[in-house]
Structure 1
Amino acid sequence: MNTDRGEIGGFRLTGRTWIGELGTWAAAVSADGRPASVLRFDPRMVAHPATREELVAAVVADRRLAQAGLTGLVPVADLIAAQHELWLLTAEPVSPTLTDLLAETPGAPRPDAGSAAVILAETAQTLLAVHAAGLAHGALHPGTVVIAPSGTALLSERGLADALNGRPAAPERDVTAWASLALGLAATWAADTPRSAELFERAAATASTRGLAAARDVLLAGRDLLPQGFPTRDRLVETLHWWAARELPAQAGHPVPAVPDEGDIVTLLHVPRNGESSTGAGTGTGTGIGTGNGGGRTDDVVMRFGPGVPLETTAEQIWRAGRHQQETMLPAERLQTARTPRAPRAAAAQRRRTALSAVAVALLVVAALVAWLLRGASQPLAVAKVDVITPKKTQGCNSTVKIRGVLTTNGEAGEIRYQWKRSDRKAPIDQTDTVEAGKTSHEVSLSWTVKGEGSFKGTATLRLLSPVPEGASIEDKATFTYRCS
C-alpha cells in the first residue's frame, strides 16, 4: 500500500468522496484498473468488538450469495481493519445511485417510467432472493440502489446498517421501503405518464398487503401501461452517460480519507485463487492464517495480521473461535452458537446445504423474472363469466349479509374493474382488483347490512366493467330474504 498515492488494499482512491449514513465513501480504482469504491466506516459505529463481528458475518453472507450466483448485490472485494477503523472495498462502484439520478439537474436527460419499472422489478427480485436465504437488506432507499453502466439495478450496503445498529433481519422493513421507492418513482419519472404512475402506486399497495412477489407480478402484468420500449433501458443508459461525463470532483469539506500505514492492516476477507497459497495473498505483511487444504480454492476466510497489531485483536478472536462454522450459519444461528458448544461437522454441513438450497430456489425465481422481461407481450386477462352467491337461509334481525362474487378467468394476470349494485340504492359501488396469473377464478365480496323490523328481499347485481369484449355485457344477480318481527 502506498499512502502517498492514497491506496488501501490495492485500491487507489481517485479523489471523489461523499458522506453516507455509515461513513465516508470514496471513488477508487481496483488493482486491475476497474472502477470501484471504498467505504471508511464511521469509527464511532464500529468501536465495539461485537459490531465488527456482525459486519464480518454480513459481508461473508453476501459473498456466499454471490458465489451461489446472485448478481443483484454490489460485490464486496474485501473488509479491512486498521486499529480502530474498518474499510469496505467493493469490486464495483457504488455510484451513481437513484439519489444521484433523481436530482433535478438542468439539462440532464430524464429516465422514463419504463426505466423506473425495470429498476423496481430488479430490486424486488433481488430482495426476494435475499429474503429466501434468510437475510434482509435493512436500509433500502434511493441512496443504496446503484445503477450499473448497463442500466442494471444493484443494491449496496446490504445488511451493514442492521449489523451496525444491532438489529435483527426484518424482511418486512424491506417491503415497506420498496413500496416507498415505487411511490417515489411514480411521482417523478412516471409523472408524465399517469397510467404508469397508477401502475406503480398499485404495485406499492400490493407490496404492502400481499408481498413483493405479488407486487412484481403486478408490474409485469401491466407492461402495456408502460412506455414503448420497456424493458430496453435506453433512456436510463442515456442518463447514465450524461451523469458519467459530468461526474463531480471531490466535494468541498469531504477530503479523501487518510489511509492507515500498511503495517496496521488486517484483511478480514480473502478467498485464495487456484494455485495461490493462503500465506501469499492479501495486503500488508505478516502471517496468513487459514484452514484450506493446500493452495486450492476454498471458501474459508483468511486473516492477515501485520506488524503493530495487538496479539488479541477482534479479528484474531473471530478466527480463533472458528470463522468457518460462522460462515455456514444464518444470523439467528450465529446468535445461538454464541451461547452453545460448537455443533458437530455434520450439522454444519446440513446448514450449509440448507442455505445453498434456499439460494438455488431464489435463483430459479430470478430466471423466471428474466423470462418474463424478455418474452413478448403476454396474453391479456379475459373474464368469461361472473356468478353471484347469496345466503339461502333467511337472514334475521340486524344482519350483515355476506355476498360472494366469483369471476371465471383465462388464468392470466391483470386488473379487473367491477361494479356492485344493491336494489335498495341507486348509486353503484365501483371497485378494482388485481388478478394473479395461474388462477382461473377470482372471488370478490359485498357486505350488506340490514336493520329494523319487517320483511325485505334484497337483490345484489355484479357487473364486470373491464376487461369486457366490445359490445358484450357480463353480469349476474342473486337475492336474499331478510325477516325481523
Structure 2
Amino acid sequence: MSTDRGGVAGFRLTGRTWADDLGVWSSAVAADGRPGSALRFDPRLVADPAARERLVAAVLADRRLAQSGMTGLVPVADLITARDEVWLITSTPAGPTVGDLLSPGSPGSPRPDAGSAATVLVETAQALLAVHASGLAHGELHPGTVVIAPDGSALLAERGLADALFGRPPAPERDVVAWASLARGLAATWASADRGAAELLERAAATASIRGLAPARDALLAGRDVLPSGFTTRDRLVETLHRWPAHEAPAPGGYPAPARSAPDEGEIVTLLHVPRAGDPRVPGTGERRGSEEVVMRFGPGVPSETTAAQLWRAGRDQQRTEPPSGALGAGVAHHARRGRGRTILASVILALMVVGALALWLFRGPATPLEVTKVDISAPKKTQGCDTTVKITGVLSTNGAGGEVSYQWKRSDRKQPITQTDSVPSGAASHEVSLEWTVKGEGSFKGTATLVLLSPLPEGEKLQDRATFTYKCS
C-alpha cells in the first residue's frame, strides 16, 4: 500500500504497511519528523476485555524496563483504543526486521554477512537476558520480531504481546529455543559463505540449548577472531539498511483492512491509564476524580508527542474555566477569588516540589557499583560412577548492586580456561554459577575445578576457590 491514510495519536500514517500474526503494522511519522510505527491489532485478538487488560500490563512492563535503563526493546509511545480498534504506537520504526533482510533484495544490494548475524545474536541474547532477569519473557521471538535500527543495532519488537493476547504465562525457556533456532537460521543464510563463522553460530545455538543464553553469547564473543572485521561496528548492517528497498506487504487475508484510513483523533483514548470503577468523571474530559489512574482523551490541538505527561497537561488545561461575570452576586465572586487563590497556592507548592525533586536528582550520589566480596565453590563429595556429568557449583557473594561479572573456570584436565560473563540483577546478595564436567570411560580420575573472578575485582586482591571430585569406573 502506498497512500497516506491520515494520522493516529499525533503520528501521520505514511501508507507503508506489513502484516504479522498480531495485526497490521504501518509506518508513521510524528509531527516533528521523528519516524515511528503503528500496529493495529487483529480485532479478534483484542475483543476479550481480559486480553486487553493483559495487553496493557505487558506494555506497562516494557515501560518499566525502559525506565530502568534497558535499551534492547523497540520503545512504545502509547497504547490506544478507538471504537473497536486497538493500536500500539512505537516511537521508533518497527522495521526493517531480520525477516525482511532475509528476503531477496534488489540486484546488487549488499546482504548482511556473518558479522551481521553475530551482532544480531549477541544483542538479542543480551536483551533477552535482561528481560528474563525481570521475571518476563518475549514469547514470540523470530526473524520478524527482531528489528534492525538505523545504527545497525538489534531491537526486540512485540515483547510479551502474543503471550498477553493468548493468555500464556511467561516462558523464558521458549525464548532460548527460539534464539537457538534464529542462530541456526542465520548460520545457514548470512554466514553460509564463511564456514568458520557458520560453525561458530552453530556452536552458539548448541550452547544455548544446553547451557543457556549467557554462555551462548560468550561463545560468540570468544570466537570473534573468525568473524569479519566490521563485526563490532555493525558496518555491514548499516550499509545494507542504506540500500535495502522499503518493506511492504498486503494486509493479512485473515481479516479485512479497515474501510477507513485511521480513527478520528477525537475518538482516541489511551489505555495506559485505566480508571478504577466508580470514580466520578470530570465533566467535559476523560478524567476521573479520586484516582491516580486516569483515562485522557486527546484530539485536534493536542501536542503531537503523546507522552503521558503532555496528555495530562492537555487534559488539565482543558478543565480551566472563565471567572464569574460581573452579573453574579458578590458572594459567588468572593468564592471565585478564594478558588483562584487556592489554585495559585497549589501551583506554587507544586512548583517547589518539582524544583526540590529536580535538585535531589541532580545532586544524588552515583549508583553503587557491583562488588564481589567472596567466591565459594562446591563439588559432589560422593564418588562419581561411569560416564557421568559432574555439576560444580560456584557462589559469588555481592553487595546487592546490579551489574556484570566476568569469571573463569579452570579444569585440571585442560589448559584452556572457560571465560564467562553474566548479568547480575540488583537486590540479590549472591549470584550462582555452574560448570558441567563430563567424564567417560573406565579407570579412576580426580578432577579439580577452580573458579577465578576476573571483574569486578577489588584492587590488589585475588578472589578464587577450588573444589575436587573423584570419578571411578571399572
Q: Could you tell me the TM-score, scaled by structure 1's length?
A: 0.60
**Which deviates further from its counterpart, 67-76 or 246-255?**
246-255
Give the whole-Å Cα distance in 2 for the aligned partners of 1:194 and 1:135: 35
Change (3 A) 1:217 1:6: same
Check the 8 A contact 1:138/1:158 in 2, yes or no.
yes
Residue in 2 that maps onto 1:161? 162
Tell me the SS of whatever aligns to 1:304. coil
Aligned to 1:99: 99
Q: Which runs of 5+ in 2 are unaligned?
A: 275-280, 300-367, 371-382, 393-406, 422-432, 448-469
| Cα offset, 1:287, TM superposition | 2.8
Contact preservation (8 Å) 1:402, 1:447: no
Distance change >3 Å, CA 414–CA 240, structure 1 → 2: farther
Structure 1 residues 266, 182: closer, same or farther in 2, change over 3 A? same
| C-alpha distance in 1 between matches for 2:389 and 2:23 | 57
Aligned equivalents of 1:416 and 1:103: distance in 2? 48
Deviations 1:25-71 (A, max 9, x none): 11110132111100100001100100000000000000111111111
Q: Is the 8 A contact 1:73 1:155 kept in 2?
A: yes
Superposition pairs of residues 445-484 of structure 1, within 5 angstroms: 445-448=439-442
Post-superposition Cα deviations, 1:286-308, rounded to whole Å, max 9, x if no partner, equal 3334779xxxxxxx65412589x
Secondary structure in 2 aligned to 1:116? Answer: helix
1:259 corresponds to 2:253: no
Per the alignment, residue 110 of structure 1 pairs with 111
- Matched residues in 1 for 2:212 and 2:93: separation? 30
1:268 to 263, 268, 271: 271
Question: What is the CA deviation profile of residues 317-345 of structure 1, one whole-angstrom value per residue up to 9, with x for unaligned ones?
Answer: xxxxxxxxxxxxxxxxxxxxxxxxxxxxx
Aligned twin of 1:220: 221
Structure 2 Cα separation of the partners of residues 55 and 252 of structure 1? 22
1-side partners of 2:42 and 2:187: how far apart?
Answer: 34
Corresponding residue of 1:233: 234
Asked if the contact 1:63/1:76 (under 8 Å) is kept, the reply is: yes
Distance 1:481 1:201 in 2: 33
User: Residues 250 and 364 (structure 1 numbering): CA distance in 2 closer, same or farther, change over 3 Å?
Assistant: farther
Residues 218 and 434 in structure 1, CA contact (< 8 A), matched pair in contact too: no
Partners of 2:112 and 2:240 within 8 A in 1? yes
Q: Secondary structure in 1 aligned to 2:123?
A: helix
Taking the aligned partners of 2:91 and 2:52, their CA distance within structure 1 comes to 21
For the pair 1:26 / 2:29, whether they are aligned, the reply is no
SS of match in other structure, 1:229? helix
Deviations, residues 115-138 of structure 1 (Å, cap 9, x unaligned): 111110100000000011111000
- 1:127 maps to a residue whose letter is L
User: Which residue of structure 2 lines up, in the alignment, with residue 150 of structure 1?
Assistant: 151
Name the residue aligned to 1:304: 296
Alignment correspondent of 1:387: none
Maintained 8 Å contact 2:251/2:257 = yes
Distance change (3 Å), C-alpha of 1:47 and 1:436: same
Question: 1:32-431, aligned counterparts within 5 Å?
Answer: 32-105=32-105, 106-243=107-244, 246-248=245-247, 251=250, 258-269=261-272, 286-289=285-288, 302-305=294-297, 400=386
Work out whether residues 27 and 38 of structure 1, in 8 Å CA contact, stay in contact via their aligned partners in 2: yes
Q: With structure 2 as the length reference, what TM-score do the two structures score?
A: 0.62
Contact 1:179/1:203 (<8 A) preserved: yes
3-state DSSP of counterpart to 2:159: coil
Whether contact under 8 Å (2:80, 2:268) holds in the other structure is yes
RMSD: 4.2
Say if 1:87 and 1:188 are closer, same or farther in 2 by CA, change over 3 A: same
**Distance (whole Å) between structure 2 residues aligned to residue 252 and residue 117 of structure 1:** 32
By how many angstroms is 1:252 displaced?
Answer: 7.8
Distance 1:130 1:401 in 2: 36
SS at match of 1:151: coil
Tell me if the contact between 2:389 and 2:436 (Cα under 8 Å) persists in the aligned partners: no
| One-letter amino acid of the structure 1 residue matched with residue 140 of structure 2 | A
Paired with 1:481 and 1:48, the residues of 2 have a C-alpha distance of 60
How far apart are 1:98 and its partner, in Å?
A: 0.2
Distance 1:31 1:290, change over 3 A: farther
SS of the equivalent of 2:44 reads helix
Cα deviation digits, residues 164-190 of structure 1 (max 9, x gap): 100000000000000001001111111
Change (3 A) 1:290 1:181: farther
Structure 1 residues 214 and 479, CA gap change in structure 2 (3 angstroms): closer
Structure 1 pair 132–50 and aligned structure 2 pair: CA distance change class (3 A): same
The separation in 2 between residues aligned to 1:205 and 1:435, in whole angstroms, is: 16
Aligned partners of 2:17 and 2:40: how far apart in 1? 11
Compared with structure 1, are the counterparts of its residues 441 and 43 closer, same or farther at alpha carbon in structure 2 (3 Å cutoff)?
A: closer
Query: How far is 1:201 from its partner?
Result: 0.8
- Going from structure 1 to structure 2, the CA distance change for 1:446 and 1:303 (only over 3 Å counts) comes to same
In structure 1, what residue type is equivalent to 2:158?
E
**Bigger mean CA deviation after superposition, 221-230 or 184-193:** 221-230
Structure 1 residue aligned with 2:418, among 404, 411, 435? 435
For 1:16, give the aligned amino acid. Answer: R
Shift of 1:259: 1.7
Is contact 2:59–2:76 with CA below 8 Å preserved after alignment?
Answer: yes
Secondary structure, counterpart of 1:43 in structure 2 = coil
Query: 1:6 Cα deviation (Å)?
Result: 1.1
Matched residue of 2:233: which SS? coil
State whether residues 408 and 417 of structure 2, in contact with CA within 8 Å, keep that contact through their aligned partners in structure 1: no
Report how far residue 447 of structure 1 moved. Answer: 3.1
5+ residue gaps, structure 1, are: 272-278, 293-299, 308-362, 366-390, 393-398, 419-432, 449-457, 463-477
Contact residue 40 and residue 87 of structure 1 kept, 8 A = yes
Cα distance in 1, alignment partners of residues 411 and 117 from structure 2: 20
Once the two structures are superposed, what CA deviation does each residue of 1:96-129 show, in whole Å capped at 9, x if it has no partner?
0001111122322011111111110100000000
Contact 1:286 1:306 in 2 (8 A): no
Contact 2:215 2:420 in 1 (8 A): no
1:211 shift after superposition: 0.7
User: What is the rounded CA distance, in whole Å, between the counterparts of 2:410 and 2:238 in structure 1?
Assistant: 29
Q: Distance in 1 between matches of 2:144 and 2:417?
A: 31
Structure-2 separation of matches of 1:400 and 1:413:
23
Q: Distance in 2 between matches of 1:202 and 1:247?
A: 34
Kept in 2: contact 1:121–1:216 (CA 8 A) = yes
Amino acid at match of 2:111: R
What one-letter code is carried by the residue in structure 2 that aligns with 1:247? A
* 1:470 equivalent in structure 2: none
CA distance in 1, matches of 2:110, 2:34: 26
1:79 alignment partner, SS class: strand
In the aligned structure 1, how far is the partner of 2:251 from the partner of 2:435? 60
**Corresponding residue SS for 1:303:** coil
**Counterpart amino acid of residue 32 in structure 1:** D
